[in-house]
A and B are shown apart, each in its own frame.
Chain A
């Protein structure tokens, strides 16, 4: 592990613990965040999330760098189908776990892993609460929180979930001697949302994701990039993909098709969250209790990308021009 990892990890852990303890400041623009990350009404409906209070709670708890569910992407229709096993590496307060648990249903499994115990506790609580809500078959209505109105969840089944405190980049997470060795190679889908930029030992982190997945498993990564020339749609992603494909072809790599089931839940859309309608209004007065609305800043001075991202994959903060130049040059 590179020198200084402990320092970076301590900073990340301390910052996120503080946010978990604060429970968010309640002033974040939840709708704007949901929109900017790619979460939208279509995804929430696909996941059976129809009540505004729950949505507000989820997005208030969100720390990340985007929406790993956002379609389109290859194999989207074969991803998050009932019965699949999903691991969220760097789950934070669990908003993606909660969505995944609803999408894969009772026969699936969702495992969340995070460095910060306080975040893991928040994630476990959020998923337990949602599972209880699903079991009871009701939720607060969309007319607002705590009004006593109930709406049926339509027999929604939520996947069991479990959570672990562990560092993604310590090199042992899913190895034979690691804490999650028993889960290595068992996941259909791995998510990582705004976390890898915080890892000091990135090769170890990517290797952990690889070990977690079963052959044919899909890794969905959202993160913050250093992007001095912009990093949005139409910003060169296609060219990058073409270069990568050409490189892979040169090296003899083969395109592989995932072997996950081909079906999509009846009545559900294969493309989820890039649809226009987003949270109509995520009022800050909705119950926002357990988790931070925004990732905290992580101070600079270490080798990890924390110095350029501001932590949490949210992309706050700025890298120096020298860093940007180095990072961007291909």
Chain B
């Protein structure tokens, strides 16, 4: 990781980054001094605190902190969901292959990195941490076997990842006032999409039903292609086929672009209220968003 490259990248979207950093040269100096001593694993936190100092909490454009705290809540949920699947003593399913467990570990580690990054960026504005005890991944019994049945676990995982992709997409425009933050959010957004793609492949590998790596049409032409009716809310509106006024089905005279292909070609955003409703299914009463 090259901090100078990162600053150059930020400068391209935020021409004032050096002006922001200049008055706080002492913070920068101390950052570079510790840079050689700290491990790579600690870098996101260090970076987060540096940007926190550079932008200053009060100078985060209005609404940006709210978006980041919303994202942080989702990342806490995802992190605990996977972390428990790896370490929980009440988890009774076994991973079919070592590769499957490694993949869940990779995803867990990314979600933890996102939590740390967002906490660092928010500083003292960060929301109260969500603990595993605050969660309910059995969703009040809807997914009672989430930690005893591997297929149920993967189905819920797919719901989380596809929701995450939609949630970040839905908030992107609210971060335009802070291009550096938007850049980071976009980089998290596409990692969640990579996770979703892999979880969908894991579901296919674990059973007899094929789940495409991308969101397609459901078997009966419905928006939810996950095969789990309980997560219909996760896919509401994913079957859109008109983009910015252009009908994607058969666009340009290409008959191969069927309704399913048109649906697959564009992922859809989800508004905050809808995401909160989904997230609250997995939080204990009193801990809900």
Q: Do A and B come from one complex?
A: no
Residues of chain A whose beta carbon lies under 8 Å from any beta carbon of chain B = none
Residues of chain B whose beta carbon lies under 8 Å from any beta carbon of chain A = none
